[in-house]
Chain A
Amino acid sequence: QQPSVQVSGSVKNEKGEPLPSVSIKIAGSEKGTVTDPKGNFTLAVADNALLVFSYVGYDTLQVKARANLAITLTPSAGALNDVVVIGYGTQRRKELTGSVATVTAKDFQQGSITTPEQLIAGKVAGVSVTSNSGAPGAGSVIRIRGGASLNASNDPLIVIDGVPLSGNNIYGASNSLSLINPNDIASFTVLKDAAATAIYGSRASNGVIIITTKKGTSGAPVFNFTTQVSAATRAKKMDVQSAAAFRKYVDSLGGGTYDNVHTYKSLLGTANTNWQDEIFQTAISTDNNLSMAGAYKNTPYRVSVGYLDQQGLLRTDHLQRFSGGIAISPRLLDDHLKIDINIKGAYNKARFANGAAISSAVYFDPTQPVHATSPYGNYFEWASVDPGSGAITLNKLAPRNPVALLELYNNTSNVYRSYGNVQFDYKFHFLPELHANLNLGYDIAKGEGQTDVPAFAAQNFLDGGQRNKYSNKINNKVGEFYLNYTKDLKQIKSNINATAGYGYYNNLSTNDNYPALRANGDTIPGTKPLFLLDKPENTLISYYGRLIYTYNNKYILAASIRTDGSSRFSPDTRWGTFPSVALTWQMSREPFLQNVQALSDLKLRLSYGVTGNQDGIYNYPYQSIYSLSGNGSLVQFGNEWYSMGTPAAYDASIKWEQTASYNAGIDYGILNNRINGSIDVYFKKTKDLLNTIPIPAGSNFSSTILTNVGNVENKGIELAINATVIKNSRYSWDVSFNAAYNENEITNLTATKDSTYPGTLTGNGFIQINSVGYQANAFYVYHQQYLKGRPVEGVYADLNDDGIINQKDLYRYKSPFPKFILGFSSQFTYGKWALSTVLRANIGNYMYNGITTGAVKSNVLNPLGYLANSLNDIYNTGFTNGQNQSDYYIQNASFLKMDNLGLAYNLGRIMNDKVGLRITANCQNVFTITKYKGLDPEIYGGIDNTIYPRPRTFVLGASLQF
């Protein structure tokens, strides 16, 4: 027991006023007190103890305990002094001219997050992150402020440590981002408006996400070890008829014959199989990460390794990821030369389940058993038996046994990826205001895999099974060089910050071609590839410059320009120029606002800029190109077989898609920034859309062509609020809320103005349309007529009132894209406990319930010699035949989801202060409130055709620091 002394003192603010309720703690313990209403305190402490003074909105202060302490706390500049990465440099948050949002590690989504983009789901206004499915490693669709394009890519540009990712497909990885370990990521910066993105020029129309990975720190090495174990369960089942209900259905309606001989009823089995239970499992996963960060002399470093082992909800799905990273940041030449070296690598080993099992489990007859004596691996399969010879013939048109689809299908892959860069930043000795920055980056990957199906499996019976290989490599290179000159000109109260640079980006894939093999290794005739490999490649060359001029710390004018040349366009059209200009006014620094106590920060931002887009399209769309047809597609002349020289459709004048963006924003902080946030209003107008449009037959070598046609407008409002609701020595409660409203409208679609043009059909099953005056991908359907509350089969409203129902009665009904996207995060701490949650909502989005369209009698009782189950919706409609174009199937898919509910307990330093330990428990995908009748209302694009269900996951984790 150390000797204890009584200390006392008072705490004041910068203006000399006493501060009540200031938290005072003894460092390394939970002991402490708070100041009284007059700002005074007393506390018994050990000699030489350190006292920590903290108060919302003020910098935390550590002072050695002594008598009569007179403490003055200074207001913290808080987040405003944070340095934010922008393209080719950094800026202090309070001086930002663009609409930029940052999410750092402490605000990431919690729990079992295995792919990086999920870390920021629901965290940034105007950014939606929709995972494609619940499969391990599945990717997501990321949209910033809606999408600018119709047919080219709408994906934002992702830049990791200065290396823009190409988005090249890696074979054997369902999502190339799944090779990036989320645990290595320090922050996401989202650039939303043109003022922020235009420096990325032609690739910036859909926004830019800059990912910064964790770097070395200072001092002795600190080890961090986190471990998680999770159990993923099904959140919801498809609402199919049970075996008993199905039996009753077929018994009552199946008296007829399907082939004039046998009744439907006679096909019924005696088993009671819940096929969904047979194919799904509770999936156990573990994720372990170890890192070491510190500095060796002047060189900060960080080394990390990770191992993820994830099972899929769908049986046989399995992903393992081994990842590692090194970051070294030597500082040389008296800190004039800074070098940052980042190298990350990952190895994914995966087995992919046969996704066809999911829809098959919906449709497969529940009265049939999983296993039965059969030539198909002793799985039950629909087959006919010759009564005479007993010969068994597979019914090739029937759905396949879902369990056999899984168990007899073995698709495994091995994927390797490494990316990294080395960045040299040299501050000139003779002119320290001038920096030269050279960044060299790479992103290489290799994917390979094989799918094996035995010859006896019904799923590949005609081909004699399969043994198919696939593999590719990607090799992307980045070279960038820029000069930056920053100078304070005090005499004219000005600061200038000028940048000029050059960039070279080359994306090369090497895709191997293989013949299709039977299980016994024989090549299926006609499948031998003509070429063993293909090497699609594109290159972008850029010049850019930016000037930021600050006057009197209050007025900031920023302008940038970038010129990009793309190999995808012809020499006549390949260069595009993308300018931007922005103005920021630090209003709170004006004298007339300085006396407003509550207002700690107010800033107005205005910007305009032009960005481009060329991603997501074929590499050579402007060239007249002939390719040779493959084996199996040869033409007989005489006794010879000739490969066909085939012209591809092209548009010689294809060029950049361009988006002009306007943005007005306010950043605000009140009560010493205890409440802060921003409001943005934007308007984006995209012209010369890269649009795949139908063209008149006879005018090109395809029915559709990619060309520059059409205009789209997006406008919206974004709102972000961060608030510390409570903060005192025991409790704290932080909340943040963001909301975005986006409106999308197509304003032109055709080269010539034509008011009679209804639009371009889109979407899976062509149930959607792009039409002038409407949102992109509006549903295009018949208006269902009801009788006594039930939809009447095939009876639709005669909308044009001409007495007949035909395509002229189709109308545009709703859209898959939400009008509002909301996100809400909350963290409540009490002592060592922390309770956090994230909620998200989409409002105004609709979904085509495609899987339900199959719930009709003619699917159950079909003439093909098998029975098929259906969803229980068959009782709601009583439809005999599919009514795929009815608006009955367009359902409101607005939702509120609790993504995450987490509880953490911080044990603090244990084991003689050597180790910090924190234990967490999380539930992900906690609940969903929606009117949507399908499995999950959140499917990007608004077409629901058997999505791999997103699991509800329970996670236990521990993190140790030592």
Chain B
Amino acid sequence: HKDLNLQPLNANTSEKQYSNFTGYKQVLAKVYGSYSLVSSSGVGVSDVNIAGISDAGTTDFIRAWWNLQELTTDEALCAWNDPLLLSFHNINWTSSNVFINAAYARSLYQITVCNEFIRESTDEKLTARGFKENEAAEIRHFRAEARFLRAFQYWVLMDLFGNPPFVTEADPIGKYIPKQITRANLFTYIESELKAIDPDLVAPRQNEYARADRGAAWALLARLYLNAKVYTGTDRNTEAITWASKVIEAGYTLKPGYKTLFMSDNDKNNPEVILPIAFDATNSQNYGGTTFLTCSAHGTNPADNQAHGIPGGGWLGNRSTKNLPTVFGDYSGNADKRALFGPGNLEVNDVIVFNDGLSVYKFNNITSGGAIPPSPNGVLCSIDFPLFRLGEMYLIYAEAVLRGGSGGTNARALEYFNLLRTRAYGNTSGNVGAITVNDILNERMRELYWEGSRRTDLIRYGQFTGNTYLWPWKGGVKNGAGVDAHFALFPIPAAETIANPNLKQNTGY
């Protein structure tokens, strides 16, 4: 009955997909596209269908991750009157919060795609499929990149959830029920993966734009070690210095003009970025990503929106608590030019009034030359998101030195610190003569705000939970209130503890 062997017209069976080099590269595109786009079928459809989420844009990686990393901190507040988002500011979320599930499911989706690619690109399979050595060598790079992205997503899960499920290419596709891994064991796994792939990755700055190279793996290692105490209970500052130094010495340089790091042509002439997530209003459309970061930070002022390249945008969503602008002291942007704020009241009297809280105009969809790039609707943006960049590496180096790691010097730490301040001020007037560990936290806020690191930083400094450090509306109170320590980890989504009986919920949920 051959009549019953039907196949879709516009799709390949896996055998056909992996029969040639182009096919491999297309799947590699999905490996990356899993964190840059919501799906392969446009902006309205999502790879991860979560009960309770109808807006595909909210399942985008950057958007979902950013919500958890920033809305829970002093850097950002969202005015959308959604109890689930409000619970981020109030730090009283529950395991049924679907936005938490969005970040969780998105990360595991990308891991699953990576696993499939890794499974299909072993040397045995490449040989069996008759690839010539030059193509096979390329595909080996692809495979190492897939392992890198999997390690990156496991880092995200380890940081957010502590003890996520664990699946690798050794596990089947189907109805498999993954086991849970402990945070410490996952740390070891990520560490070993990043080191193991080093020989197979392309040398730093030598890969195609927006693809991972050794520099990206080193940068992730540096980030991993800086936070090792949180993840494993043991400081690994010496290793943080080692790997941050390797990145710094690989030839990256700061991009002149801090604000151009976040403009729509930041894929061009960008010597600082180690690995971006690329967006494009025409080709890589997404209502998450930098479109979300830009549009949700803008109000309804047509002139402002036009000036920032989003004439159709302005979603009245995210802005800052006063702790963000005031960390600059003078937040006019005249001195420290990283202070990229728009209108609004410094004080947030009402969380759901967009004008309460200074606007953050850091992500800006015009080109560095001042032109508005093409956009089909004046909403979609072309800014690439800097997932890893040199500026962060400088601060990791400095912090690890001050925290007592060896292999670095105080003088070098101060030098790197002042390099960032020199770019920020445009001259040396902002340079400092001495720095403390606390200075690094504040400098990280000034340098890296809204780039998704704040929650992790506050946790590393012991300031996220408890009442040591308060900010407006922390704990649901206008002046800030202490919150319980268990909120330093997010809960495994309730839907997931139902679907996967192997998972044990985090303490306190």
Contacts and interface: CB of A to CB of B under 8 A. Distances in A.
Interface of A: 258-261, 384, 386, 391, 393, 395-397, 462-463, 504, 506, 524-527, 530-531, 533-539, 541, 565-567, 571, 574, 619-620, 623-648, 650-653, 693-705, 707, 751-752, 754, 756-758, 761, 766, 806-807, 858, 862-865, 881
B353 A863 contact: yes
Given A536-B8, A636-B278, A630 B40 contact: yes
A624 B111 contact: no
A680 B283 CA distance: 61
Nearest to A541: B1
A651 B174 CA distance: 6
Interface stretch (B65-73, B175-183, B434-442): B175-183
A626 B14 contact: yes
A627 B13 CA distance: 9
Contacts of B37: 629, 633, 635, 644
A615 to B, nearest CB: 16
Given A260-B353, A524-B377, A565-B1, A697 B33 contact: no
A566 B42 contact: no
A50 B177 CA distance: 82
B359 to A, nearest CB: 13
Interface string B1-29: 10111111111111011000001011111
B29 A462 contact: no
Given A395-B300, A525-B376, A645 B498 contact: no
11 contacts: A395-B300, A539-B4, A567-B4, A624-B13, A626-B13, A647-B30, A693-B499, A696-B496, A697-B105, A698-B171, A806-B94
Contact of A463 (B177, B377, B494): B377
Most buried by A among B173, B178, B353, B355: B173
B165 A694 contact: no
B3 A539 contact: yes
Given A396-B312, A703-B105, A697 B496 contact: yes
Contact of A628 (B10, B32, B278, B379): B10
B314 interface: yes
A700 B1 contact: no
Contacts of B208: 637-638, 640
Interface stretch (B46-54, B327-335, B477-485): B46-54
Contact of B6 (A619, A636, A699, A702): A619
A721 B48 CA distance: 52
A264 B166 CA distance: 51
B95 interface: yes
Interface in B277-318: 278, 280-285, 300, 302-303, 312, 314-316
B6 A538 contact: yes
B81 to A, nearest CB: 6
A619 B429 CA distance: 67
Contacts of B377: 462-463, 524
A751 B109 CA distance: 22
Does more than half of chain A's interface fall in helix, strand or loop, or is it mixed? loop
Contacts of A757: 498
A697 B165 contact: yes
Nearest to B38: A633
B49 A703 contact: yes
A772 B355 CA distance: 48
A645 B40 CA distance: 8
Contacts of B16: 626
B78 to A, nearest CB: 12
Given A260-B353, A625-B8, A628-B10, A698 B42 contact: no
A260 B345 CA distance: 9
B36 interface: yes
Given A393-B302, A526-B283, A863-B353, A694 B6 contact: no
B27 A626 contact: yes
Nearest 4 pairs between A and B by C-beta? A645-B26, A629-B40, A638-B208, A696-B500
B81 A624 contact: no
B414 to A, nearest CB: 37
Nearest to B16: A626
A633 B38 CA distance: 9
B142 to A, nearest CB: 10
Contacts of B39: 629, 633
Nearest to A862: B81
B167 interface: yes
Given A619-B8, A633-B42, A705 B283 contact: no
Given A635-B29, A704-B49, A537 B6 contact: yes
A627 B109 contact: no
A637 B376 contact: no
B74 interface: no
A237 B40 CA distance: 42
A531 B10 contact: yes
A700 B111 CA distance: 10
Contact of B96 (A756, A807, A863, A865): A807
A628 B9 contact: no
A806 B353 CA distance: 27
A393 B304 CA distance: 12
Nearest to A391: B302
A703 B12 contact: no
B12 A629 contact: no
B210 interface: yes
A863 B14 contact: no
A623 B12 contact: no
Nearest to A762: B51
A3 to B, nearest CB: 75
Contacts of B175: 651, 695, 699-700, 705, 707, 751
B448 interface: no
B14 A634 contact: no
Given A574-B4, A636-B267, A701 B10 contact: no
Nearest to A764: B54
Nearest to A698: B167
B356 interface: yes
A751 B500 CA distance: 11
Contacts of A619: 6, 8
Contacts of B174: 651-653, 699-700
Contacts of A397: 315-316
B26 A628 contact: yes
B144 to A, nearest CB: 15
A635 B36 contact: yes
A479 B29 CA distance: 45
Given A462-B312, A699-B176, A700-B175, A535 B9 contact: yes
Nearest to B353: A863
Contact of B42 (A395, A620, A632, A640): A632
Contacts of A631: 283
Most buried by B among A463, A629, A862: A629
Given A644-B26, A863-B354, A881 B83 contact: yes
